[in-house]
Structure 1
Amino acid sequence: MIQSFAYVGTRTTKRRGHGKGIYVYQVHDEHQWNLIQTVPAVNPGFLAVNETNSVLYAASGDHDYLTTYKIGDDGRLDELGRTPSGGINPAHITLDPTGKWLLAVNHNSGSLVAFPIKPDGSLGSESSRIDFTGEPGPHRTDQTGAKPHHIVFSPDGQWIAIPDKGLDLVHLCHLDPVDGRLSQSDSVPSTSMSGPRHAVFGNDSTLYVLNELSNTVGCYVRDQDTTQWSLIQLLPTMPDTDPRDSRAAEILITHDGTRVLATNRSGAGDHTPGGPRADTLACFRVQKDGYLKLDSHISAADIRPRFAIQSPDGQILVANEKSDQILNLGPVDSPTSSRVIVNVPSPVCVVLAKGYHL
C-alpha cells in the first residue's frame, strides 16, 4: 500500500504569523492526518512537489532563496540545499511540464526566473529571467511597481500566465524546454487597481484570473488567428450582502473543468485580523463558451482562507490562515458541512503527495 502524506507551509515571522516551518503529516484511514515532522523554515509560503513525489521545493516569502528537500519513503524531509531565488520575496514556484525546470516569481523585485533541476532534484543556477516593467497601478501601498504573484502553465505547456498585482497586467510568457530560456509574448491589461494575483487555465485558449484588490475574477480568451489575449468578462467574488473589506486570495478549477472557485479573505490587508464571521468561497459554473456564471457562495467555515485545493477524490480543502486550521469543505456539488482536518499555526499552502486520498 502506498503511503499518503500532506505538507503544510506556514507563515513564521512575527509580522506574518506564528508557524514554525513545514509541517509533515502522514494520512491514515478514517481521514486522519498525524503529524510526523516539523521542519524549521522561514516563511515557507509556497511548496511544490515533483512528479515522482521524491523532492519538495519551498519558497521563503519575504526572503531571497528557495530550499530543496528530499522526500523519504516515510514522507519525512531532508534538506538538499538552498538556491538564491534571483530576487526578493519569492511568492510562487512551479515545475514545468517536462519536470526539468523550476520557475519562481519574486514578488517584491518583479522578476520571473527559471532554474534547471539536477538529477538528484536539487536546483542549478538560474538559466534565464524576465524583469517585468510597466506603469504601476494607482493603489498607494500595494502597487509601487511590478509584483508578479503566480505562475501557471497552459494545459499544452505552450503558455505561461503571470498575474502582476503591481502593474494591473497579466504577462504571457514562454519557456524553451530545451535550454530553459524564458521569453515574454504579451502583457494584457486588467482593470485599474484590480491587482491580478492568481490564475488558472480552463483550456489552452481560456484563462481565469483572480484579482486581489478588486475581489473579481476576469475571463481572458486567446484569438485563434492572432494569438492575442483579451479580457471578455469580469465578475465579483464577494456576496452582495457582505459589506466587509476583503481581498481575494486563491483560485482553482475543479478536476472536471466545470467549476471555478475563488476564496475571499476579510480585512483590508495582511495585517488586519479579518472576521468576525466566516469568510467565503465564490463558486462559478463554467459555461460552454468559457464564460463564468455565479453558482453559489460557500462558507469557508472560518477566517481568511488564503489557500484552497481540490483533493484527488474531489474534496475542497482550505487553509484558513488566521484561524489556524486546514478544513475539508466536502465536494463542490454538496458542501453541506465542514470538518477540521488539523489545527496548524498560520497555514498558507498545502501539498498532497504519494498515494494521498481522503
Structure 2
Amino acid sequence: MKNIARPLFAYVGSYTTPERRGQGNGINVYRVDRASGAFTHVQHYGGLENPSFLAINGNGTRLYSVHGDRTEANSFVIEPRTGHIAPLNRQPTGGYNPVHLAFDATGRYLAVCNYGTDSLAVLPIADDGSLLPYRTLTTVTGTLGPHRVQQHCMCVHHIPLDRQGRFFYVPCKGSDVVIAYRLDARRKILVEAARATARPGAAPRHIDFHPRKALAYVINELDSTLTTYRQDRDSGALTPLQTIPSTPSEFTGYSTGAEIWVDRAGRNVYVSNRGHDSIGVFGIDPAKGTLTPRQWVPTHGSTPRFFAFDPDQRFLYVANQDGQSIVGYRVGRDGRLSPTRLRIKVGSPACIVFGL
C-alpha cells in the first residue's frame, strides 16, 4: 500500500480586543501546499480573546494557546486528517498577560511567562494532553530600565527552551536582562540559573539558538539591535560577543525589533522590524558566530510582529499584525528571501505554528 504523508496545517493566532486594536476573530486553521506554499482556509475557531501565541506538541496532536491581556492557557485536540481543533481544557497561568509558552524537553510540562505580573508558571500536561494546574509561580525580579513607559515592569517576553533541552531563557524587556532557568521537575517550578545584562534601554525581547554551536541571538526591542552571545551549556550563562543594528544604517525612522529565528543550517539569523516593516537577514560567521547584514526585504504590511518558517524551511511567512495579512517569501539555498504572490488576508495575526 502506498504511504501517504500527513497533510501540513498552519494555525494562526490573533488579537481580537479593542484595547489591542484587534481585528482578529480567534484561531484560524489553514491547509498548506508544500510545493507552492499556498494556504487554504479549513477552520475558524472563535470565542477566544487574544490567542496571541500558540504551540503544538511533538506528535502534532495537541495545540496550546496563551491569551494576551488575559490570565489563562487553553489546550485543544487536533484532528490529524482535517487539522481541525476542538477544545480540551483551560487553566489559569497565575498572572496577567501571558505572552509566550514552551514545552520542556520531555513534553510533559508547559512553561508560560506572564508579561504583566513578572512571573513564570509551569503547567504539567496530563496523559490526554490537557493542562493541569501550576503548583508555584516563579517571581522574576531585577532593576528596571530607563524607559518610563515601556520598562514599567520586568516585562518577561519569551520563554523558549535551548537546543540541548536544559535551560529556558527569558528575555526581560523591562529590565534589560536575559535570564536562564532550569526546570525543577520535582517541585514543578523554574529556578534561576544565570542572567546576562544588556545595554540600558535595549529591551531584550526574543531569543533563538544556533542548531549546533553554543551561540544565542537576541533581538532587542527598543533600540532595534541584535546581540550575539556565547552560551555556557553547563551553567546557562550568556557572554555577549557583538551588538549590531537590526535595521539598515540609512534608516532614520522609529522602529522596534520583534521576532528572531536562526535557520536550521546555522548559516543565517532572521529578524523582524516594526516601523521599518522589514525582515532582516544576517549571515553567521562560521568561525566567530558573529553577524553581518545580508538583506532586508519589505513585509508589505505594517507591524510584522511575528514570522515563521514552514517545516521544510522553503518558505518564510510574516504575520503583519496591523497589516491584517500574512505574506510569504521563498527561502533561497543561501538563505536570502525572494518575493512570492503568497498573501493571506487575516485580522491582526500574532503567531503562526505548523503541525503535521
Scaled by the length of structure 2, the TM-score of the pair is 0.92
SS at match of 2:202: coil
> Structure 2: which 5+ residue stretches go unaligned?
none
Distance 1:130 1:67 in 2: 20
Partner residue of 2:244?
235
* Deviation of the 1:225 alpha carbon: 8.6
Distance 2:341 2:187 in 1: 46
> Cα deviations across residues 43-66 of structure 1 (Å, max 9, x unaligned)?
000000001111100101000000
Contact residue 100 and residue 177 of structure 1 kept, 8 A: no
Partner residue of 1:169?
177
The 3 A distance-change label for structure 1 pair 205 and 127 is: farther
SS at match of 1:98: coil
**Does 2:45 correspond to 1:39?**
yes
* Deviation of the 1:112 alpha carbon: 1.3
The 3 A distance-change label for structure 1 pair 343 and 188 is: same
The 3 A distance-change label for structure 1 pair 13 and 227 is: closer
Partner residue of 1:153?
161
* Deviation of the 1:292 alpha carbon: 1.4
Distance 1:293 1:319 in 2: 25
Partner residue of 1:285?
283
Distance 1:105 1:92 in 2: 6
Runs ≥4 residues deviating over 4 A: 223-227
Give the aligned residue type for 1:98: T
Distance 2:45 2:78 in 1: 12
Correspondence list, 1:67-82, <5 A: 67-73=74-80, 74-82=82-90
Could you tell me which of 135, 144, 148 is aligned with 1:136? Answer: 144
Give the aligned residue type for 1:69: F
* Deviation of the 1:312 alpha carbon: 2.2
* Deviation of the 1:26 alpha carbon: 2.1
Distance 2:19 2:236 in 1: 43
Contact residue 180 and residue 237 of structure 2 kept, 8 A: no
Partner residue of 1:9?
13
Contact residue 199 and residue 210 of structure 1 kept, 8 A: yes
> Cα deviations across residues 161-183 of structure 1 (Å, max 9, x unaligned)?
10000111100111135653321
Distance 2:63 2:235 in 1: 39
The 3 A distance-change label for structure 1 pair 163 and 225 is: closer
> Cα deviations across residues 176-205 of structure 1 (Å, max 9, x unaligned)?
356533210122110000111000012563
The 3 A distance-change label for structure 1 pair 320 and 35 is: same
Distance 1:306 1:185 in 2: 29
**Does 2:57 correspond to 1:50?**
yes
**Does 2:329 correspond to 1:323?**
no
The 3 A distance-change label for structure 1 pair 334 and 157 is: closer
**Does 2:249 correspond to 1:249?**
no
**Does 2:231 correspond to 1:222?**
yes
Partner residue of 1:335?
337
Distance 1:99 1:12 in 2: 29
Contact residue 319 and residue 325 of structure 2 kept, 8 A: yes
Partner residue of 1:24?
29
Give the aligned residue type for 2:70: H
Partner residue of 1:181?
189
> Structure 1: which 5+ residue stretches go unaligned?
267-277
Let me know the Cα RMSD of the aligned residues.
Answer: 1.8
